[in-house]
Chains A and B, each alone.
Chain A
Amino acid sequence: MLLLIPTLLGLTLIVFVISHVGGTQRLVGSYINIHSTVPVVVQEQQLAERFHLNDPLYIQYFYWIAAFLQGNWGYTKTTIYSGTVLDAISLFFPNTFVLAVLASILTGIIGIPLGVWSAVRKDSLLDQATRVISFAGYSMPLFWLGLLLIIVFSTSNVCSCLNIFPISGTVTVSLISGVNWYNNGISYPTHVLVIDSLIHGRVDVFVDALMHLVLPVVTLTYGVMASVLRVMRSSMQDTLNQDYIRTARAKGLEEKTVIKVHARRNALIPVFTLLGYTIASLLGGVVLVEAVFNYLGIGYWTTQAMLNGDVGGIMGATVIFGLAFIFANLGVDLAYGFIDPRIRY
Chain B
Amino acid sequence: MRLTQESELNQVEQAIPKEPLLRVNGLRVSFITRAGKIQAINDVSFEIQAGETFGLVGETGCGKSQTALAIMRLTPEAGIIERGEIWFAGTNLTKNITREFKLTQKKNARPKLKRNKSMLKRLNQEMNEIRGKEVSMIFQEPMTSLDPVYTVGMQVSETLLRHCTDLLVDRILARNAATREKLREITNTATHELTQTEVRELLHRSGLERLEDQIWFIISRKDIGITQKIRRISELAERKPTPITMMFLVELNKSSGKMPIKYRILNKMPIIRRWLWGTIQKEALDLSYELLSLVNMPNAENVLHQYPHELSGGMRQRVMIAMALATRPKLVIADEPTSALDVTVQAQILELLRELNRTFNSAILFISHDIGVISEVCNRVGVMYAGNLVEVARLDQLFADPKHPYTQGLFASIPKYGEKRELLQTIEGTVPNLIDPPKGCRFRTRCSRAFEKCTEGPPWVQVDRDHGVLCWLYGESEKHVDQ
Contact, CB under 8 Å: A243 / B145:
yes
A residues near B374, Cβ cutoff 8 Å: none
Taking each of A249, A254, A262, A265, which has the highest tally of chain B beta carbons within 10 Å of its own beta carbon?
A249
B186 to nearest A CB, angstroms? 35
Contact, CB under 8 Å: A265 / B141:
no
Residue in A closest to B128 when the chains form the complex, CB atoms: A252
Asked if B147 is at the interface (CB within 8 A of a chain A CB), the reply is yes
Contact, CB under 8 Å: B132 / A342:
no
Contact, CB under 8 Å: B137 / A250:
yes
Contact, CB under 8 Å: A244 / B144:
yes
Known: A253-B158, A342-B309. A244 touches B131 (CB 8 A): no
CA distance A248 to B72 in the complex (A): 12
A residues near B163, Cβ cutoff 8 Å: 252
Chain A 248-284, CB-CB to B under 8 Å as 1, else 0, gives 1111111101000110011001000000000000000
Contact among B130, B133, B139, B323 for A243, CB-based, below 8 A: B139
Contact, CB under 8 Å: B149 / A265:
yes
A residues near B158, Cβ cutoff 8 Å: 251, 253, 261
Asked if A204 is at the interface (CB within 8 A of a chain B CB), the reply is no
A residues near B137, Cβ cutoff 8 Å: 247, 250
Contact, CB under 8 Å: B144 / A253:
no
CA distance A266 to B150 in the complex (A): 10
Chain A interface SS verdict (over half): helix
Contact, CB under 8 Å: B131 / A252:
yes
Asked if B148 is at the interface (CB within 8 A of a chain A CB), the reply is yes
Asked if B368 is at the interface (CB within 8 A of a chain A CB), the reply is no
Asked if B370 is at the interface (CB within 8 A of a chain A CB), the reply is no
CA distance A73 to B72 in the complex (A): 68
Asked if B129 is at the interface (CB within 8 A of a chain A CB), the reply is yes
Asked if A242 is at the interface (CB within 8 A of a chain B CB), the reply is yes
A residues near B162, Cβ cutoff 8 Å: 251-254, 257
CA distance A269 to B127 in the complex (A): 30
Contact, CB under 8 Å: A250 / B72:
yes
Asked if B146 is at the interface (CB within 8 A of a chain A CB), the reply is yes
B28 to nearest A CB, angstroms? 22
Asked if A22 is at the interface (CB within 8 A of a chain B CB), the reply is no
Contact, CB under 8 Å: B131 / A243:
no
Asked if B74 is at the interface (CB within 8 A of a chain A CB), the reply is yes
CA distance A75 to B128 in the complex (A): 68
Contact among B129, B132, B141, B150 for A251, CB-based, below 8 A: B132
Asked if B312 is at the interface (CB within 8 A of a chain A CB), the reply is no
Asked if A201 is at the interface (CB within 8 A of a chain B CB), the reply is no
B138 to nearest A CB, angstroms? 9
A residues near B149, Cβ cutoff 8 Å: 265-266, 269, 339-341
Asked if B477 is at the interface (CB within 8 A of a chain A CB), the reply is no
B residues near A262, Cβ cutoff 8 Å: 147, 150
B311 to nearest A CB, angstroms? 12
Asked if A20 is at the interface (CB within 8 A of a chain B CB), the reply is no
B439 to nearest A CB, angstroms? 34
A44 to nearest B CB, angstroms? 61
Contact, CB under 8 Å: A252 / B148:
no
A125 to nearest B CB, angstroms? 13
CA distance A265 to B158 in the complex (A): 16
CA distance A150 to B76 in the complex (A): 49
Chain B 118-129, CB-CB to A under 8 Å as 1, else 0, gives 000000100111
CA distance A253 to B136 in the complex (A): 12
Asked if A246 is at the interface (CB within 8 A of a chain B CB), the reply is yes
A255 to nearest B CB, angstroms? 6
Chain B 443-462, CB-CB to A under 8 Å as 1, else 0, gives 00000000000000000000
Contact, CB under 8 Å: A253 / B74:
no
Asked if B288 is at the interface (CB within 8 A of a chain A CB), the reply is no
Known: A339-B149, A341-B149, A342-B309. A250 touches B136 (CB 8 A): yes
Asked if B307 is at the interface (CB within 8 A of a chain A CB), the reply is yes
CA distance A254 to B163 in the complex (A): 11
Contact, CB under 8 Å: A244 / B323:
no
B residues near A246, Cβ cutoff 8 Å: 74, 139, 145
CA distance A222 to B145 in the complex (A): 37
Within B297-329, the residues touching A (CB, 8 Å) are 307, 309, 320, 323
Asked if B407 is at the interface (CB within 8 A of a chain A CB), the reply is no
Contact, CB under 8 Å: B307 / A250:
no
CA distance A265 to B150 in the complex (A): 10
B330 to nearest A CB, angstroms? 14
Within B160-203, the residues touching A (CB, 8 Å) are 162-163
Q: Across chains A and B, which 3 residue pairs bring their CB atoms closest together, nearest first?
A: A252-B132, A252-B131, A251-B132
Given contacts A247-B139, A249-B131, 18 further A-B contacts (CB under 8 A): A243-B139, A247-B146, A247-B147, A248-B147, A249-B74, A250-B136, A251-B131, A251-B136, A251-B323, A252-B128, A252-B129, A252-B131, A253-B158, A255-B128, A262-B147, A262-B150, A340-B149, A341-B307
17 CB < 8 A contacts A-B: A243-B139, A243-B145, A244-B144, A246-B74, A247-B139, A247-B323, A249-B131, A250-B136, A250-B137, A251-B131, A251-B136, A252-B130, A254-B162, A265-B149, A266-B147, A339-B149, A340-B149
Residues of B within 8 A of A (CB): 72, 74, 124, 127-133, 136-137, 139, 141, 144-150, 158-159, 162-163, 307, 309, 320, 323
